[in-house]
Amino acid sequence: MKNKLLYWLPFLLLLETGCKKILEVTPQSSITEATYFKNEGDFEPYLTGIYTAMRSFANNITYGTERSEELVAASNSRFTTAWSQILSPTTGAVNYNDWYKAIGNCNLLLKKITDFSFSNADAKKRIMGETYALRAYFYFSLTRIIGDAPIMLEAITDDNVPLLPRAPATDVMKQIQSDLDASIASFRSMAGFVPTAYPSLYRFAYGSVQALKADAKLWSAKVMNGGTADFNDAIAAITEVEITGRTLNTDFKNAVTLRAAANPEAILAAFFLRDESNGSSNYGLNALPFFTIVQGALNIDSIPYANTSGNGQGAYQISPKSRALFTSSTDKRIPFTWVTERQSTGPKISWITKLPGTKYSDDRISDNDIPMYRLADVFLMKAEAYAGISNTALAISYLNKVRNRAGTGDYGGATDKATIEKEILDERERELYFENKRWYDLVRFHKAGTINVYTYVPNLVGKTTPLFWPINTTVLANNNLIKQTEGY
Amino acid sequence: MVKRLHMKRKPTAGKLYRFILLLILFAPFLCLAQTHSFSGKVTDSAGAPLEHATVTIKGAKRGIATAVDGSFTLAVDNSTVLVVSSVGYTSREIAAGNQTNLVIVLARANDALSDIVVVGYTQQSKQKTTAAVSKLNPAELKNTSNPSPVQALQGKIAGVSVPITAGQPGAGAPNIIIRGGTKNNVYGSGLGNNNGTSVGSVDASSPLVVVDGVFRAFTDINPDDIESLQVMKDAASTAIYGARGANGVIVIKTKGGKFNSKMNLSLNHRTTWETQARNYNYMGAADYLKLARTTVKNTFDPIDKNNLLNNGGFSAGTKVYTKKGDYGKAVNLTALYDNIVAVEGQDYVNNLLAHGWQTMDDPINPGTKLLFADNHYQDMLWNTGLTQNDNLSVDGGSDKANYNLAFGRTNQAGVLVGTKYKRYDALGNFGFRASDNFRIDVNLSYQNLSPNYVDAYQNDVVRAIRITPLIRIFKDDGNPAVGELYTARNRFHTLKYDDTRTKTERFVSRVAGDWTIIKGLHFKPSLSYLSDDYHETFMRKATPPDEVQPSTQRQKTDYTSNSRQLMTDQLLQYDFSLARDHHFTVLAGINYTKNTGNIVSVSSQRATSDYIYTINEPSTTVINGVVTTNVTNFGTSFSESRSASAFGQLNYDYNSKYLFSGTLRRDGFSNFAPENKYALFPSASVGWNISKEKFWHINFMNALKLRASWGKAGLSDLSLTDTYGGYSATTYALGSGILRANLSNPDLKWESTTTLDLAFDAALFNNRVTLTVDYYNKLTDQRLASKPLPSESPFSSITFNNGSLRNRGIEIELGATVLSIKKFAWNTNFSFAYNQQKIISLPNNGRAKNRQGGDLVYDANSKSLVEAGGFAEGERPYAIYAYKTLGVFSIEAEAAAWNATTKDNLASPQGIAVGKHAGDFIFEDVNHDGIIDTKDQVFMGYRTPTTIGGMQNTFSYKGISLRFTMDYALGHLISNGALARSLGQGRAFNEGAPAEALGPDIWQKPGDMGKKYARFSFADADFGQRNYLRSATLGNNNGYGSDVSVMITKGDFLAFRELTIAYDLPQNIMHKIHATGMNVFASVYNLGYLTRYKGLNPETYTGFDPGGYPRPRQFSLGATIKF
C-alpha cells in the first residue's frame, strides 16, 4: 500500500530544476527596456509615438489663445483663469512635466540612435532630423510659455534626475536653433534629399523645419532683442520654405477646410480623425454649439452645431474685438471664421466656424487637422520680418499675397514701419483666427512696441500679470534650483 | 462498539458518488432508520442545541456528531462511558447506565482560549498559540441577508475594517483592511467609474485569503458553506505566508463531512426584501420649477438666461414648439401651455392634464401659463429588491470516507432598477482514508456569477439618478427618452437600449494527502488548480434617430479574461514530545504558485442590425466616402507571474505553560530583477500561560496568558514593467507608434512589514468573561509605491522602495455571558480597535520632512507659508484641507465691501469678473493678502477612521434566540459632495434640487442672516462663485466632493447592523415530519445609523460622499430544515 501511495503523488518533482529557473518568466505581452531599441525598425514607431505629444501641444489653447483677445464665453464655459489673466503661483500656474516627457522621449531616441547603424542611412538621418525638430518644437513651445527653462538633454532611465536650474531664455533659444540646425543638416545630408519632399504633412519635413526656424527667429528677434540678424535669418528660412513648392489655395475655404494631406498650402499640421483613439477631437469641440442651445435659430443650417454637448460644448464665441478687425465686408474669410446666430429675437452668439468639424451621419465631430504652419502664415511671418528690418515694400508685397487671396485687395494704407507692423498683426488675426497662435503674436508685437498688450487685451486692462506663466508648487518643490517666473 | 448506519463495504469514489446522487434524489422521501438504544441531546447551558458536538465512547477511536438539534443516537451497554465534546465547550464524561433520552449540557469553555486555530500550516489550540488570531463566530455567517461573507465580517473582529460604501448587489469592499493595511491609501480617494466600483484610486491592501488551502478571493463564496473563518493579524501568524502575508491573512475552511456520521440533509431557504435605507429628499416638480426659474432670473452669474428660460436650455426652461409631436419627445417637460394647445390641440393637453400634468403661472412672468409634469423619477428608480436564496447540503461519512456536498443559489435584485446579482455554487468536500496511514482530501468548488452592476458608477449612478423632476423619462410613444445627455442618462433609456452581461465562472479543485510515515511524522502534499473565467459582453441597440445619439453607435463589446492559478504545497511535519512535558511541532515545506492570465478584448460599432448580440459587423464602413474602421478596440494579452518559497516552522511548549514558536520563510517572486527575487521572512513568538503557574491565586481570573511576537511579512504587488520598464502602443496619423510608458527600476526590492505584537488573553469569573488585548506596532519598510520625480524628468514618478509607514494601535476583544438565568442567556461580544498611521521615513529629497507632493499653505501660528499635504515624515497621510467659510453675505452692501478689499481667485473666471453678491459664501482670507487662493486652505482633519469596532449580542431563551449587532467607526471626515453638487449644480443643469435649497439653513433673499448655506445656484463651477464646487489642492480635489468647510462634517457613526430572531422548532413536531430539526428566522439588516452626518452614507472613508448607490435596508425571512 505504501508503495502504491508513491505513485499517487505526482507532486514530488518541483524545485529540482533549481530556484533560479523556476522564477524566470519571459514577458509575452509587454515590451521592456531590455527588449526595445534592439532593432533598426524600433526607431520609426518611437518617432511616430513622439508626434502624439506634438499634437497635444498644438491642441492646447490655454497657452496659445486664451490670454489673447480672441474669445469670449458663449453658452457654456470652458475657460481657465488664463483667460481672465488671473495667474499666480497658486492660480493657473504651470507644471511643465508634459513638455519634459516629450523632450525626454526625444532625448531617449537620440541617445539610442546615435551609435545604431542602419542598413538605410537615409532612414536614420530622416528619423534624427525629425527628432531634433520635435525637440526644438517642444522647447520653443515651452519657452514661449515660461521664458527661462531648464535645458534637459540627458536620456533619463532611472530615478537619477539631475537637478537643473532654469536656463535664460536666450540659452533655450540657442538650444532650439542648434537642434533646428542639426535637423536641417540631417535632412540635407540624406542622399535622396529634395527640399520639396513632404513625406507626411503631419510630420516634420525640411520645409516645416525651416518654417519653425523662421518662427523661432522672429520670436528671438522681437522678444529677445535679437534684432536684424534674427530677422534676416527668419527671411532666409522662409525663402527655404518657399522653394519647397507649397502654394496658396485660390479659395480661402480650401485653405481651412481641406485636410492637410490634400491641402497645397499646408506645411505642417497636427493630425486629427474621429476614429484615432487619442486624437479623435480637437479644441474646436469647445467652440461648436450643440443643438439645444441654437435650436430655433433662423439660420440654423449655417451654424456648425453638434447634436450633443459631448461633441460640441458651446463654450466660446469670437470676441467683438476680433470681429471688428474684419473691416472689409468683402473679406472672404468671414464665413469661415464665424457665423452669427440669428434668433427671432435678434442676433445672438457669433459661433466660430474656423474649425467646424466634420459632419458625419450621426453627428458632427471636431476632427479637423490643426494647421501648425501653412503658407499664408509663413508669408505673413516674412512680411513681419521684412517690416522688422524696415523693408516695408517687401513687407507689403507679402501682406498683399494674403490679402488678395482673401478678396480684400492690395494694402492701401500708410507705409510707415509702425503702421505696417500693426497692419500685419491685424492681418494675422484675420487670416489665422483660432489657429492657436494669437497670444504669441501679441507677445511679439508687444515686445516690439507695436501694441501695448496691457491695453489691447480687454482682460489685461488694469492688470500687471506677466507675459510668462508662473511655475506651480509641484515643480518648485521637486527641484529647489527652480526659481519662480519673474513678476510673480 | 459503534454501530454504523452506513454500508460496511469500502465505498469507492464511483460508488460513493452514485450513493450521494441517490440520496439527493430521494432525500425528501427517505425515512431514516432509528435505533432504539441510547438517544440524547447536547445543548449549551442556555438550552440551545449544539450541532456537530462529538460523542464518543470512551476508549473507542471514533465517535459521531450531533445533528442540528443536538441529538444523537448510539448503541450502548450499561458500562459505557460517553465522552461529549464540542469546540468552545468543556468536555463531559457521562456514564450511560440505563438512561435514555438524556439531555447533556455542556458548559461554555473559555472561548478565546480553547478554540482550535490554524497558524500557518499547523493547527493549534488557542491556549497554546502565541499569535494574534481572531475567529469569526460561525453564528455570524448563518442566515445572512447578503450573498457575500464580506458583509458578515463587518465590525465583528477587532482591527478589521470592511469599508462597504455601495449597495449594489454583489459589491464588495475595495479592501479589507487589517490593522490599517500597509499602504497610504487603503480606503481610496476617488470616485470609481468602471465595473460597478464605487471607489477609485485605491492602493490594493487586502489580506491574503486562503480558502481550503488555496489562495483566492472570497467575496463570492457562499457564506453557508463556511465552517470557520479566522483572521491572522500579527507576524507570528502571517510570516509563514511570507510574500503575501503583510496585510494579514484570512483563513477559511469550508464545511466537510465527518467520518462515521449519519447522513444529514439540510435545506435552507431565505427571502430578502431590500429597500432604500437613506435617500435624497428632492423637491417635486412644482417647487423645483419655481425655484429654478426665479434663481436663474435673479442671479448675478453671467449665465445665458434667455437660452435657459425661454429656449429650453434646461429642464425648467420653456421653449416654443412649432411642430406637432415635438413636445411629446422633447428632452424637458416644461412648456408654455398656450403653445402646446396651439400646436397639439386642446384634447392633447387635456389628456396630459388627466395623466398628471400640471399647470402653473410662470413665477417670473405672471400671466403666462406653464405646462409641466413631475417625472417621479426617484419613485421609479428605487424599488424593493427581492432576493431568493436556496441552499442544499448533504453530508455524512463511513469509516473510510466522508463527504459534504452543498449547492447554493442566490438571485438578488437590488433597490436600483436593473441591478442584480445571481450566483450558482457547488461545493464538494471529500475525505478518504485510503489506508491506515494515508488520508486524502479532495475539495471541489464551483461558482457561477452573473451580476448586473451599474457599470459606470460616476455617470450612471452618481449623475444619472439625480436628474431633475422636469426631465422627460418616457416619450409619448412609450419609449424612454435619453434625458439631457448621455453622461447623465435616463436609467430607463440605458435599460432599454443597452444590454450588459457579465459572468464569472470559477472552478477550484484541490487534492491533498496526509501520509503518516511514523507516529507524529506527516508528509502532506497538495496540489490545487483554480480557473477563473470572466466574460463581459455589451450590446447597444440602435437608438431612435430623432434622439441625441451616443458617441459610438450600435456598439458591441466582447471582453474575456481567463486566469489560472496552479499551486502546490509540500509539507513535512513532525509532532513529538520529549520527557512528557516538552511538546514539539517541527515543520518544513515548499510552496510554488504560478498565475497566468489571458485577456481578449474586442469591440466594434455601427452594427447593421440589432438582431445579433455578438460581433458580426464588417470591419469597415464607408462614411462620407472615407473608409472608416468599425473596430473600436481589439487586443489580447498574456501575463504570468510565479512565486516559489521554502519555509520552516517550530512550535514548542512546556506543559502548555511556556510557549515558543518560530518560522522562517524564503520567498521568490518572478517580477523582481534576478538579484532581488528572493527575500527572507522570519518570525518568533513566545507565550506564558501564567495562570497555570502554581503561584497563581487570583480567583476571579481563571486564565491569563501573556504573549509577544515579532516577525516580518512581505508584499510583492509589483508588475514586471515596474522592474523592467514598459513601452506601450499609440497611434498618430493612422500610423502605429510606441512610447516608453514608465521608467524601469531594476533595483526594486521586496516590501516588508515588521510587526511587534504584545498581548494578553484572560478569562474571568469562571470563563464568563474573556478578554484579549493586543498592542501592535507594524512598520512597513521599502514600500513599493510611486515616488515623485522632478518635473524635468520624462515621467512624473517612478515605482520605488518609497520609505516606510507605521501603523500602531490597540485592539480589544471582550466576550461575556452577561446574564444566564435558568434558560435565559445573554451573550455579548465587543470589539474595539484604535489605529494610528504615520509615515516614518521617505527617501531624501532635500525638502523638509522629505515631503512628496503637497502645497504651500499659510500657517497662522508661525505667520508664514508652510509646506503641507502630500506625504511627509512624521505625518499621517491623507489629511483634508478646505476653504473656510465665515458665513454668507446677507446683503449686497456686505458683499460690495468685501469685494473692495478682497478678490476670490478660486471663483470661476467669469465669476471673478462679477465678484461677490448677497448669498455667496464669505471665504476666510487666512493670510490677509486680499486674495483667496490655495494658501488659504485650512486643515480640517482626516478622511479615514482611527477607531472601529462593533458589538454583537445574543439573547437566547429555550429555542428562541435574538441577535443584535452593531458596529461603529470614529474619526473620519466626510464632505457631503452630493449635497454640494445639487446646491451648486456643477456645470450642467441636470440635477434635482434638494429640499435644503428651500430649507431654513440656506440663504434665499437679501437680508437672510446667519445662514449656513450659500445661495442655491446653477453652473456654480462654470459661471459662478464656486461656492460649493471648490476644490482644494490638499482637499479631496474631486469634482464630486466639495472642499468647503461647511460641507465637511464628522462621519462618526454607530450602525445598527442586524437584528435577527430565530426559533428552533420543538423536536416532537419535527419528528412527525421525519425531520431532525428546523429553524426559522426573521431579520433586518442595516436598520439605521446613529450619526450626525446628514448625507447618504456615513460609511464613507474616501473623504467625500458623492451620492450614488446607498446600502439598502434588508428584511429577511427564512427556514432551515434538516433530515
Does A138 contact B at CB distance below 8 Å? no
pLDDT given at position A24:
84
pLDDT band at A410 (very low <50, low <70, confident <90, very high): very high
Residue carrying C-alpha cell 453530508: B395
Find residue B55's DSSP bridge partners. Answer: B64, B84
Cell numbers given for B622: 464607408
Average pLDDT of the segment spanning B326-336: 93
Smallest CA–CA separation between B499 and chain A, in Å?
21
- pLDDT tier for residue B10 given thresholds of 50, 70 and 90: very low
Q: How far is Cα B402 from Cα B52, in angstroms, rounded to an integer?
A: 14
A23 closest CB neighbour out of B644, B733, B790 = B644
Contact B970, B947 (CB under 8 A): yes
Burial A185-219 (b: 16+ CB within 10 A, else e): ebbeebeeeebeebebbbbbbbbbbbbbbbbbbbb
Q: Do B668 and A22 touch (CB under 8 A)?
A: yes
Asked if the Cβ–Cβ distance from A28 to B638 is below 8 Å, we say: yes
With an 8 Å Cβ cutoff, is A16 touching chain B? no
**Residues 218-277, chain A, touching B (beta carbon < 8 A):** 271, 273-277
Mean pLDDT of A215-243: 96
Q: Is residue B720 within 8 Å of B143, Cβ to Cβ?
A: no
Residue B1022 sits at the chain A interface (C-beta within 8 Å): yes
**A310·B909 Cβ contact <8 A:** no
Average pLDDT for B756-785: 92
CA B799, CA B791: separation in Å to the nearest integer? 16
| pLDDT tens profile A58-103 | 999 999 999 999 999 998 878 888 999 999 998 899 999 999 999 9
- In chain B, the largest separation of any two C-alpha atoms, in whole Å, equals 106
Nearest CA in chain B to A74: B304
Above 70 in pLDDT, residue A340? Answer: yes
Residue B1062 predicted with pLDDT over 80: yes
Measured between beta carbons, the chain A residues lying within 8 angstroms of B623 are 360-361
Compute the mean pLDDT over every residue in chain B, rounded to the nearest whole number.
88
Does residue B107 have a pLDDT over 80?
no
Q: Which of A1, A3, A4, A29 to mutate to test the interface with B (most CBs of B within 10 A)?
A: A29
pLDDT mean across residues, chain A: 92
Phi, psi (deg, nearest 5) at residue B693: -75, 155
Shortest alpha-carbon distance between residue B128 and chain A (Å):
32
Comparing C-alpha atoms, which of A160, A380, A75 is closest to residue B314?
A75
Lowest-confidence pick of B455-459, B476-480, B641-645: B455-459
> Is the model's pLDDT at A9 over the cut of 90?
no
Which of A2, A3, A7, A19 is the mutation pick for testing B, counting most B CBs within 10 A?
Answer: A19
Return the CA Rg of chain A: 26
Q: Is B509's Cβ below 8 Å from some Cβ in A?
A: no
Task: Determine the residue among B343, B626, B732, B745 to mutate to test chain A binding: the one whose Cβ has the most chain A Cβ atoms within 10 Å.
Answer: B732
Averaged pLDDT for residues B989-1014 = 93
Residue A119 has a CB neighbour count (10 Å cut-off) of 7
Distance CA B464, CA B486 (A): 9
Rg (CA), chain B: 33
- Chain A touched by B791 (CB under 8 Å): yes
Q: Please give the average per-residue pLDDT across B921-935, as a whole number.
A: 95
| CA atoms of B786 and B449, how far apart (whole Å) | 35
Which residues in chain B are contacts of A79 at CB distance < 8 A? 909-910
What residues are paired with B877 via a beta bridge?
none
Residue B716 has pLDDT above 90, yes or no: no
* H or E stretch at A51: helix A43-58
Asked if A174 and A165 count as a contact pair (C-beta separation under 8 A), the reply is no
Which of A34, A104, A203 minimises the CB distance to B793? A104
Asked if A157 is an interface residue toward chain B (Cβ–Cβ < 8 A), one would say: yes
Phi-psi region of B74 (alpha: psi -120 to 50; beta: other; left: phi over 0): beta
Q: Name the residue with higher pLDDT: B36 or B1118.
A: B1118
Here the cell at position A351 is 459661433
What's the CA gap between B199 and B1040, in Å, rounded? 12
* C-alpha span between B1085 and B444 (Å, rounded): 31
**Mean pLDDT, range A177-198, rounded to an integer:** 96
A364, A366, A367, A372: CA torsion to nearest 10: 150
For residue A291, give how far its alpha carbon lies from the nearest alpha carbon of chain B (Å): 9
Higher pLDDT, B627 or A230: A230
Distance CA B165, CA B189 (A): 13
Task: Determine the straight-line distance between the first and last CA of chain B, rounded to whole angstroms.
Answer: 25
Task: Considering only the beta carbons, identify the residue of B670, B796, B987 that sits closest to A23.
Answer: B670
Would strands B879-883 and B937-942 be described as parallel, antiparallel, or unpaired?
A: antiparallel
Look at A9 and B1022 and tell me if their CB atoms are within 8 Å: no
Indicate the residue type of A73: A
Contact residues, A window 325-344, toward B, CB-based 8 Å cutoff: 343
Q: Exposure string (b/e) for B534-548, b if CB count within 10 Å is 16 or more?
A: bbbbbbbeebeeebb
pLDDT of residue A16: 40
> What pLDDT, on the 0 to 100 scale, is given for residue B123?
81
**Tell me, what's the pLDDT at B22?**
43
**Residue B35: pLDDT over 50:** no
Minimal Cβ distance to A25: which of B642, B910, B912: B642
- Report the pLDDT value the prediction gives residue B44, as an integer from 0 to 100: 72
Residue B875: what are its φ and ψ, rounded to 5°? Answer: -110, 155
Is A75 an 8 Å CB contact of chain B? yes
Higher pLDDT, A239 or A344: A239
On the question of pLDDT at A4 being above 80, the answer is: no
With both helix axes pointing from N to C terminus, report the angle between A206-223 and A438-447 in degrees, rounded to the nearest 10: 40
Question: By the CB < 8 Å criterion, does B736 face chain A?
Answer: yes
Q: Per mean pLDDT, which of B47-51, B253-257, B440-444 is the most reliable?
A: B440-444
CA distance A292 to chain B (A): 6
Range in A12-21, B846-855, B897-906 the model is least confident about: A12-21
Beta carbons of A275 and B629 less than 8 Å apart? yes
B553 contact A CB<8A = yes
Per-residue pLDDT at B471: 95
* Rounded Cα–Cα distance for residues A226 and B664 (Å): 71
Residue type, B459: N
The confidence score (pLDDT) of residue B37 equals: 67
Q: Minimal Cα distance from B594: which residue of A?
A: A23
Nearest CA in chain A to B308: A293
Three cell numbers written together for B1062: 430565530
Q: Searching chain A, which residue's CA lies closest to the CA of residue B569?
A: A11
Dihedral class, residue B877 (left if φ above 0, else alpha if ψ from -120 to 50, else beta): beta
Output the pLDDT for position A34: 85
Residues 6+ apart with CB under 8 A from A87: A81, A93, A465, A466, A469, A470, A488
Q: How far apart are the first and last CA of chain A?
A: 87
Q: Number of residue pairs across A and B with CB atoms under 8 Å?
A: 297
Q: Does A463 touch chain B (CB under 8 A)?
A: no
Chain A within 8 Å of B513 (Cβ-Cβ)? yes
Instruction: Answer yes or no: do A83 and B909 touch at CB < 8 A.
Output: yes
Do B149 and B226 contact (CB within 8 A), yes or no?
Answer: yes
- Min distance B596 CA to chain A CA atoms (Å): 11
pLDDT at A108 over 90: yes
Name, of A455-459, B166-170, B639-643, the range with top average pLDDT: A455-459
CA of A229 vs chain B CAs: smallest distance (Å): 32
Of B558, B641, B802, give the one whose Cα is nearest residue A30: B641
Q: Do A23 and B629 touch (CB under 8 A)?
A: no
**Tens-place pLDDT, residues B490-507:** 999 999 999 999 999 999
For residue B2, the model assigns a pLDDT of 37
Backbone angles phi, psi at B960, to 5 degrees: -100, 135
Contact B909 A84 (CB under 8 A): yes
pLDDT of residue A26: 84
Q: How is A70-89 classified by DSSP, letter by letter?
A: SEEE-SS----TTTTT--BT
**Taking CB atoms and an 8 Å limit, are B549 and A308 in contact across chains?**
yes
pLDDT at B165 over 60: yes
Q: What is the pLDDT of residue B109?
A: 52
Give the per-residue pLDDT at B137.
81
DSSP-derived secondary structure for B106-167: EPBP-HHHH-EEEETTEEEETTT--S-EEEE-GGGGTT-SSSSHHHHHTTTSTTEE------
CA–CA min distance B812, chain A (Å): 42
In this prediction, residues A465-480 reach a mean pLDDT of: 94
Q: How confident is the model at residue B90 (pLDDT cuts 50, 70, 90)?
A: low
- The pLDDT value given to residue A5: 42
> pLDDT tens digit string along B837-887?
999 999 999 899 999 999 999 998 999 999 999 999 999 999 999 999 999
- Taking contacts as CB-CB distances below 8 angstroms, the residues of chain A near B628 are 274-275
A161 touches chain B (CB under 8 A): yes
Average pLDDT of the residues in B981-1006:
89
Query: Which grid cell sits at B667?
Result: 520567498
Above 50 in pLDDT, residue B585? yes
